[in-house]
Amino acid sequence: MSDKNRDRFGSLSTPQQAKRPSLLPKPNPDSFGRMTEGFARYMGTPQFLLWMTLFCAIWIGWNTLAPESMQFDPRSLNFTLLTLMLSLQASYAAPLLLLAQNRQDDRDRVVATEDRKRDQQNLEETEYLTREIASLRIALREVATRDFVRSELKDMLEEIMEMQQHEKNHESATDDDEQDYQRKDREVKLVKDLDEDDETIEKK
């Protein structure tokens, strides 16, 4: 079987149901739903109640006070036509109200689903921000503070000053030793010169 026929008839593993031809017209669900919602919304307004009361009052008053030849729904028959009209209205109003309520329930379900998704997304973002803040706090604990840096710099300056002072002391001690060595060398030379002079005098 080709792909075109497979798409047309469906999968062989799925049983197909015979579609019975419908003689009744199928209204558009969206258009019909909007119409029923509008009618149900209008039935819940004070204007509808006022016009309905006025209509029933005129109907009853005409068929009560008008001459019998002009009455089309006489009181003697207990307003049979009015009762039939109100019954038909009630029989149609109840399904229309239920249909409007079902559409409202569907919208509420969609809104609730969107709210749950939004709440889940907000929860995930909050958890992510919480983890980021915790990691930043941990990182800030490891960063050197200003007082710690100042104390370390102060210790380093003190060590440098001590090393410089030690070098100065060492240089001064070296200079003193060199001066002593030069003085002793001069004394030795002077003694040698004196000895040579004495030997020269003795020879003469």
Chain centre distance of CA 95: 42
* Mean per-residue pLDDT over the chain, rounded: 79
Q: What is the distance between the alpha carbons of residues 85 and 48, in angstroms, rounded to a whole number?
A: 16
CA proximity to 74, closest of 56, 60, 87: 60
Determine if the pTM surpasses 0.85.
no
**Mean pLDDT within 172-185:** 69
Position with higher pLDDT, 183 vs 48: 48
Range of weakest confidence among 1-15, 115-129, 176-190: 1-15
Sorted by where each begins, the domain ranges of the chain are: 29-120, 144-204
- Residue 161: the pLDDT is 86
End-to-end CA, the chain: 150
Range of weakest confidence among 56-65, 69-78, 85-94: 69-78
Strand ranges (E), the chain: none
Q: What 3-state DSSP class applies to 136?
A: helix
- Residue 32: the pLDDT is 76
Position with higher pLDDT, 169 vs 175: 169
Q: Is the pLDDT of residue 201 over 80?
A: no
Q: Cβ distance 53 to 59 under 8 Å? A: no
